[in-house]
Amino acid sequence: MHHVLWAITEAVQLEQQILIVAERINLAPEDVPVIPSRCRVQWEAAQNAHVLLYPEGMVKLSESAAEILKRVDGVASVSAIVQGLEQTFPGADLRSDVVEFLSTAYERGWIIVPGR
């Protein structure tokens, strides 16, 4: 009986994880993200890195995250951002990584997509 309860508990946890992944926001290639006015990306000498500043605090950005967010200007679509990065870093297929990062940034409120 104990093993049955354990198996049911594991199945419920797995189902919850699947639902979380399924609900994940994936931005479309034509979406045009923008950094909200309450946030800004800037170089922070004390951190020796770009940071994202927002009312609740600050996030130190990796070089790749900074490269992506610097291209979020409210004009460039997700597709254009990917193309620009692939031109800057030739030979790399960056689409899935860029879309994943932008989706995470969207979920955390670091970027918005007007009309969404």
Give the global pTM.
0.77
To 10 degrees, the CA torsion angle through 69, 78, 92, 110?
A: 30
Least Cα distance to 111 among 40, 29, 56 occurs for 40
Per the listing, tokens 């692939």 go with: 86
Summarised one tens digit per residue, pLDDT across range 25-66 is 778 999 999 999 999 999 999 999 999 999 989 999 999 999
Q: What is the pLDDT of residue 110?
A: 94
Count of structural domains within the chain: 1
Structure confidence at residue 11 (pLDDT) = 43
Has residue 115 been placed in a domain?
Answer: no
Q: Which domain holds residue 30?
A: 2-35+62-107
How large is the average pLDDT for residues 103-111? 93
- Please write the tens of the pLDDT for every residue from 69-88: 999 999 999 999 999 999 99
Residue 25 lies in a domain: yes
Residue 11, domain member (yes or no): yes
